[in-house]
C-alpha cells in the first residue's frame, strides 16, 4: 500500500532546479534511504515530503489523498515526525521535551506519562528523565530527539542525517535500538545520510539523487553491484573513481584511456564512450616488481607512494600513477614490501574487478 507518493515535484532556487522529480512512491513499512552529494536535494526532498517546504509545482499524496486538498497539511503533520541532524531540544527537562510533543496532539496527562516512560526505556535513557537537556552529551541529546519523534508513533518518520554529529561508538547502539523499534512498529522510514554503514543497517531501498533528480531507485544488492554514478560508487566504498574514454572493446573487455595510462575493464562499450571507472581498494595489489607477466592480471601501473595510513589491521596506501589509486594491504605485506612514502611501486588489479559505467 502506497503511504506517500510524489508527483511532478519541482522546486527551484532562483533558476536552478533543486528538485525535479516526476514520480516517487513509497510503500507502508518501507525503509528508504535518500543518498546524494551535498546540494543534490536530499534535505529539500525530505522537507517537501514532510509538508515543510513550499514548492513551486507538484503534489504529495498520503495514502493517495492529496495533501492540502483531500487531507489538510496540519492533519498530515500529526501523522508524521521529523528528526534533523541537530537535536533542537527546548531548554527544559528531558521529560518535558518529550511530553511537549504529545501535548501538541492533546494527549491526556496520564497517557503522556506512560508513553514518555515507555519510549525512554526503549531507547535506554530512562535515567535521563529529569535531567535538563543542556547537561546532556551530543549522543544523549540525539537519543532524546529520537525519543521525541518515536513517542508520537508516527506513520512516517523522516530523518535528515540524524547520526552525523554522534561519535561512532554511541551511534552503533543507537542505530540498533532505532532499527528494532522501526521494524517492530512498522514505521515507514525516509532517511538521508552520507554514511553507508548507517544506511545499510537500517534501510532496504536506496534512492540516489543527483541535481534534484532521481538517478537510481534500487535495493542494497543492486546498489552494491552496480552503482549508477560517482557519488553512489563512493558511497558504497569505492575509493578510486576515475574518468576514462574507451579506446577499444573486444569480447567484453575494453581498454580505456585514463590520463596517460590505459585501463582494462569488462563491459560492452563503444570506442569514444566516456566512462566512470571504479576500483575497490581491496582489489588493488601492490608489488615492488611487476607481476602482470604470466598471470591473468590485466592492469599493471607504475606509480609513486604518496600517502600511507595505518588503519590498525591493514594499511591504506595511496599511489600516484598519473591519477591517484588507493590500495588496502595487510600489515605483513606492508612490512615485507618495505613501502615508504615517495618510493616507486607497481599497482595491479584484474579487469573483472573494475566497475565501470557510462558517464
Residues contributing to the site for other proteins (CB under 8 A): 47, 50, 52, 74, 77-78, 80-82, 84, 86, 88, 90-91, 100-101, 103-105, 148-149, 152, 158
Q: How far is the CB of 119 from other proteins (least distance, A)?
A: 13
Residues 6 or more apart whose CB falls under 8 angstroms from that of 196 comprise 235, 236, 237
CB 101, min distance to other proteins, A:
5
For 215, counting Cβ atoms within 10 Å of its Cβ (0-12 exposed, 13-18 middle, 19+ buried), the class is middle
- For other proteins, the closer of residues 76 and 315 by Cβ is 76
Q: How far is the CB of 54 from other proteins (least distance, A)?
A: 11
Which residue, 134 or 260, has its beta carbon nearer to other proteins?
A: 134
Instruction: Give the span between the Cα atoms of 347 and 326, in whole angstroms.
Output: 9
Residue 230: CB minimum distance to other proteins, A = 29
The β-bridge partners of 132 are 93
Minimum CB distance to other proteins, residue 257 (Å): 46
Q: What is the distance between the alpha carbons of residues 89 and 91, in angstroms, rounded to a whole number?
A: 7
Cα–Cα distance measured from residue 8 to residue 21, given in angstroms and rounded to the nearest whole number: 6
Between 155 and 348, CB nearer to other proteins:
155
Quick one: which of 102, 63, 59, 58 has its CA closest to 81? Answer: 102
Strand 31-36 vs strand 188-192: parallel, antiparallel, or unpaired?
parallel
Q: What are phi and psi of 338, to 5 degrees?
A: 50, 55
Please tell me whether residue 237 adopts helix, strand or coil conformation: coil
- The C-alpha cell of 94 is what? 528531558
CB of 129 to other proteins, least distance (A): 19
Our CB check for other proteins shows the closer of 27 and 104 to be 104
Residue closer to other proteins (CB basis): 158 or 315: 158
| Number of CB atoms found within 10 A of residue 155's CB | 19
List the one residue out of 287, 342, 291 whose CA is nearest residue 320: 342
Distance (Å, whole) CA 7 – CA 21? 7
Report, in Å, the least distance between residue 76 CB and other proteins: 10
Q: Which is nearer to other proteins, 5 or 85 (CB)?
A: 85
Of residues 145 and 353, the one with the C-beta less far from other proteins: 145
Amino acid at each position: 500500500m502506497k503511504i506517500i507518493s510524489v508527483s511532478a515535484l519541482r522546486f527551484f532556487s532562483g533558476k536552478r532546479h533543486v528538485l525535479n522529480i516526476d514520480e516517487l512512491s513509497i510503500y507502508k513499512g518501507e525503509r528508504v534511504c535518500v543518498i546524494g552529494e551535498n546540494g543534490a536535494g536530499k534535505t529539500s526532498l525530505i522537507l517537501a515530503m514532510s509538508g515543510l517546504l513550499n514548492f513551486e509545482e507538484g503534489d504529495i499524496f498520503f495514502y493517495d489523498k492529496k495533501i492540502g486538498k483531500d487531507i489538510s497539511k496540519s492533519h498530515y503533520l500529526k501523522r508524521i515526525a521529523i528528526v534533523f541532524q541537530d537535536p533542537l531540544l527546548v531548554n527544559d527537562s528531558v521529560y518535558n521535551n518529550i511530553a511537549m510533543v504529545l501535548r501538541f496532539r492533546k494527549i491526556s496527562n496520564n497517557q503522556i506519562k506512560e508513553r514518555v516512560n515507555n519510549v525512554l526505556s526503549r531507547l535506554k535513557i530512562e535515567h535521563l528523565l529529569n535531567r535538563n537537556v543542556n547537561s546532556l552529551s551530543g549522543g544523549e541529546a540525539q537519543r532524546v530527539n529520537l525519543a521525541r519523534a518515536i513517542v508520537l508513533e508516527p506513520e512516517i518518520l523522516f530523518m535528515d542525517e540524524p547520526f552525523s554529529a554522534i561519535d561512532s561508538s554511541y551511534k552503533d547502539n543507537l542505530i540498533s535500538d532505532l532499527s528494532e523499534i522501526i521494524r517492530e512498529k512498522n514505521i515507514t522510514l525516509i532517511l538521508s545520510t552520507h554514511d553507508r554503514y548507517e544506511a545499510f543497517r537500517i534501510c532496504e531501498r536506496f534512492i540516489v539523487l543527483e541535481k534534484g533528480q532521481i538517478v537510481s531507485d534500487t535495493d542494497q544488492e543492486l546498489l552494491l553491484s552496480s552503482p549508477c554514478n560517482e557519488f553512489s560508487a563512493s558511497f558504497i566504498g569505492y575509493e578510486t573513481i576515475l574518468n576514462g574514454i574507451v579506446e577499444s572493446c573486444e569480447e567484453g573487455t575494453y581498454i580505456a584511456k585514463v590520463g596517460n595510462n590505459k585501463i582494462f575493464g569488462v563491459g560492452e562499450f563503444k570506442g569514444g564512450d566516456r566512462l566512470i571507472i571504479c576500483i575497490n581498494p581491496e582489489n588493488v595489489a601492490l608489488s615492488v616488481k611487476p607481476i602482470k607477466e604470466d598471470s591473468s592480471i590485466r592492469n599493471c601501473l607504475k606509480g609513486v607512494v604518496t600517502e600511507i595510513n595505518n588503519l590498525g589491521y591493514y594499511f591504506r596506501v595511496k599511489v600516484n600513477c598519473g591519477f591517484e589509486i588507493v590500495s588496502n594491504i595487510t600489515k605483513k605485506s606492508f612490512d615485507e614490501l618495505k613501502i615508504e612514502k615517495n618510493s616507486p611501486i607497481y599497482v595491479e588489479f584484474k579487469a573483472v574487478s573494475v566497475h565501470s559505467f557510462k558517464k
